[in-house]
Amino acid sequence: MKKVLLTTAMSLMMCIIGYAQTQPDYKKAPKTNEKVIGTVSVTLSGRSSKWNETEVYAKLLEKAKEDFPNYVIDIREMQIEQDDKGRWIGERSREWSAFWKGTSTGKVVDLHDPAAQSMGNLSKAMDKALRSVRDGSRVAIDMVTVSGGVSINREDFKDQVVDALLDKGYKVVAKEYLDKLYEEQQGQQSGIYNERTTVQENNFSAVGYYINVKVTETSLRVQVVNVSTGEYEGNATVNF
């Protein structure tokens, strides 16, 4: 009995997963690299049969392009509310026809929003740039540059970079900590230093790589620099 229930449950889960994967994009939730900029709604009406989903999608997209002419857009989470109401169309012939009426709504997403594209493509760019870096390596973020035309907060994006690195299994060392170590090291060389915070030569070798990230209106670039050699270990650019 337990085996039958388990098999049934697994079959049901596979059906649900399969259905979710085969759903068209216009019925799915917005992706991480898409920004919701509004909603649109259209009225549906007709005889004899219900509206085809692809036809409804086309009407919504047409309406969205009218409302948002300066964007590259698409529809997400499309919903159709449709009533089936029968009515007479001829008193003498006694003909009857089904008259469909309802509404459809959908979220409008901007496919080329630089901020959304940067967030959505960050993981992809990092995977490319860090291909030759061993898992678990210590890294530090050297620079995060955001173009003036991109509406994204630099510090917030830097936090996203740190989170992405940690999620991928890398050990992230704060750049501020390294700067403090450098100052201590310079003080030691001048003969003025605190014995309790003496910097050893191998302190800096603990960090193997610097990460540089640059965001523009059309691209996201991630660079990986080897701290010991100063050479670029990886460089990846994702264009929007």
Confidence (pLDDT) at 186 = 61
Q: What is the pLDDT of residue 175?
A: 77
CATH number, residue 119? 3.40.50
User: Distance between CA atoms of 197 and 168, rounded to whole angstroms?
Assistant: 32
Strands (E), 48-72: none
Q: How far apart are CA 210 and CA 222, in angstroms?
A: 10
CA 39 to mean position of chain CA atoms: 20
pLDDT of residue 46: 72
- pLDDT for residue 52: 84
Same domain, 82 and 131: no
Beta strands in the chain (DSSP E): 35-47, 73-90, 95-110, 138-146, 171-172, 209-215, 219-226, 232-239
Residue 162 lies in a domain: yes
Same domain, 77 and 106: yes
Is 12 among the domain residues? no
Q: Helix, strand, coil proportions of the chain in percent (round to 5)?
A: 40, 35, 30
Alpha-helix runs per DSSP H in 100-171: 114-129, 154-167
Domain range spanning residue 102? Answer: 26-110
Nearest alpha carbon to residue 106 among 69, 80, 83: 80
**DSSP-based three-state secondary structure for 61:** helix
Per the structure, the count of domains in the chain is 2
- Say how far apart CA 111 and CA 138 lie, in whole Å: 34
Strands 232-239 and 219-226: antiparallel
**Which residues does 46 contact at the CB level (< 8 Å), separation at least 6?**
99, 100
Same domain membership, residue 106 and residue 51 = yes
Asked whether residue 9 is assigned to any structural domain, the reply reads no
140 near 208, Cβ under 8 Å? no
pTM of the model: 0.66
In terms of DSSP bridges, do strands 95-110 and 35-47 run parallel, antiparallel, or are they unpaired? antiparallel
Nearest-10 Cα torsion for 95, 100, 101, 104: -170
Please answer whether residues 34 and 109 qualify as being in contact, where contact means their C-beta atoms are separated by less than 8 angstroms. Answer: yes
93 and 161, same domain (yes or no)? no
Structure tokens of 136? 């678990």
Within this chain, do residues 201 and 132 fall inside the same structural domain, yes or no? yes
Does 11 reside within a domain? no
Determine the pLDDT at residue 105.
Answer: 95
Q: Are residues 129 and 38 in the same domain?
A: no
- Residue 67's contacts (CB-CB under 8 Å, 6 or more residues apart) are 38, 40, 108
Asked if residue 228 and residue 118 are part of one domain, the reply reads yes
Tens of each residue's pLDDT in the chain, 240 residues? 555 455 555 555 555 445 455 899 999 999 989 999 999 999 888 765 567 899 999 999 999 999 999 999 999 999 988 766 655 555 555 555 556 678 999 999 999 999 999 999 999 999 999 999 999 999 999 999 999 888 899 999 999 999 999 999 999 988 776 666 566 556 555 554 444 443 444 455 467 899 999 999 999 999 999 988 999 999 999 998
Who's near 179: CB < 8 A, 6+ residues apart? none
User: Is 157 within 8 Å of 165 (Cβ atoms)?
Assistant: no
pLDDT of residue 35: 94
Q: Which residues pair with 159 in a beta bridge?
A: none
Residue 43 lies in a domain: yes
